């Protein structure tokens, strides 16, 4: 069993059968995300666009300006804001109603609404692209329903851009060496479940099952990958990871470019919907 699970601040277990990690910290509920996305300067957070470099790079590579894009699980709306400024017709949906209400106060022009990703209120084949950044890993029961809806609303030849934490070579090596405790709890233990760290090939195969063709993959965020997995580096890397000054941002970028294939925390996968 996961001894002392509910007294733990942060626990990580290896699911050997599925070649993935499970993180138990705090359950990712609506209230959790509303609190997580609170900010002293909410408008600045949205305009800052934490993932703007990633968003711009992949969207402009595959989609023309004026393309219709949905971000499923848009959070603070910063990516919807970024895509709009890039000339795309962007929509955002999320289940965190408090956060969506705050977005509407500061940015009423953004097309953002409260919706369930498993039952979207859009017609079939409505979007040219669909962004999903760090969403599927928080669903303990699986992400099949989310993918099914994504496949429904994306046009033939449209694109799915998906990011999630993955089993990097560093994490695979740690699992092989037995450096993670093995998951032995009941399958229905969800009280403190936060996220999965997936085997990338398992995700790729599942998405292709929903009528997509794999296009490309690219690991990123090596600073977080190293910070979370190598304890003696954590104090130093935490400062770099959390800072927004130009030196820290440049350092994060350089470390990710050089070391993401080995140590990246997340991976972006691009898929194209079949005819």
Q: 211-240: per-residue pLDDT in tens?
A: 999 999 999 999 899 999 998 878 877 777
Query: Which positions ≥6 away from 2 have C-beta within 8 Å?
Result: 11, 13, 24, 183, 184, 185, 189
CATH number of 7-273: 3.40.50.150
Percent of the chain with pLDDT over 90: 70
| Spatial strand order in the sheet of 127-133 | 111-114, 89-94, 68-72, 127-133, 154-165, 266-273, 212-220
Band (pLDDT 50/70/90 cuts) for residue 34 is confident
Band (pLDDT 50/70/90 cuts) for residue 7 is very low
Average pLDDT, the chain: 89
Query: Which positions ≥6 away from 210 have C-beta within 8 Å?
Result: 147, 148, 150, 151
pLDDT of res. 8 = 40
Closest CA to 149 of 164, 134, 136, 165: 136
Report which of residues 79 and 243 the model is more confident about: 79
Q: Which tokens hold the place of 28?
A: 């990712």
Task: Report, as an integer, the average pLDDT of 38-53.
Answer: 78
pLDDT of res. 50 = 65
Q: CA 226, 231, 232, 236: dihedral to nearest 10 degrees?
A: 60
Asked if 168 and 225 touch (Cβ cutoff 8 Å), the reply is yes
Band (pLDDT 50/70/90 cuts) for residue 241 is confident
If you average pLDDT over each of 14-28, 39-53, 261-275, which comes out highest?
A: 261-275
Helical H runs in the chain?
30-36, 42-48, 52-62, 78-85, 97-106, 144-153, 169-176, 200-209, 222-229, 234-242, 246-263
Task: Calculate the alpha carbon distances from 13 to 167, 174, 188, 226 in Å.
Answer: 13, 11, 15, 17
- Per residue in 112-144, pLDDT (tens digit) is 999 999 999 999 999 999 999 999 999 999 999
Q: Which residue has the tokens 């002392």?
A: 4
Residue 257 has pLDDT above 70, yes or no: yes
Residue 99 has pLDDT above 50, yes or no: yes
What is the rounded CA–CA span in Å between residue 149 and residue 158? 14
Task: Report, as an integer, the average pLDDT of 150-167.
Answer: 98
Residue 161 has pLDDT above 60, yes or no: yes
Domain boundaries, the chain: 7-273
């Amino acid at each position: 069993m996961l001894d002392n699970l509910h007294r733990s601040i942060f626990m990580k277990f290896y699911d050997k059968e599925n070649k993935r990690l499970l993180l138990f910290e705090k359950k990712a509920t609506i209230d959790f995300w509303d609190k997580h996305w609170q900010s002293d300067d909410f408008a600045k957070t949205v305009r800052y666009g934490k993932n703007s470099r990633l968003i711009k790079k992949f969207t402009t590579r595959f989609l023309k300006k004026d393309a219709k894009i949905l971000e499923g699980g848009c959070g603070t709306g910063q990516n919807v804001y970024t895509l709009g400024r890039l000339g795309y017709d962007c929509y955002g949906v999320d289940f965190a109603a408090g956060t969506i209400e705050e977005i509407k106060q500061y940015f009423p022009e953004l097309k953002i609404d409260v919706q369930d990703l498993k039952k979207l209120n859009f017609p079939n084949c409505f979007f040219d692209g669909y962004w999903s950044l760090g969403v599927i890993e928080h669903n303990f029961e699986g992400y099949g329903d989310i993918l099914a809806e994504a496949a429904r609303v994306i046009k033939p030849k449209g694109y799915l851009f998906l990011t999630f934490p993955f089993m990097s070579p560093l994490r695979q090596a740690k699992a092989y060496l037995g450096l993670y405790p093995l998951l032995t709890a009941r399958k229905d233990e969800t009280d403190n479940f936060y996220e999965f760290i997936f085997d990338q090939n398992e995700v790729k195969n599942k998405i292709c099952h929903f009528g997509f063709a794999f296009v490309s993959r690219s690991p990123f965020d090596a600073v977080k990958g190293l910070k979370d997995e190598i304890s003696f580096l954590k104090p130093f890397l935490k400062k770099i990871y959390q800072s927004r000054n130009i030196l820290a941002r440049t350092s994060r970028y350089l470390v990710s470019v050089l070391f993401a294939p080995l140590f990246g925390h997340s991976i972006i996968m691009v898929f194209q919907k079949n005819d």
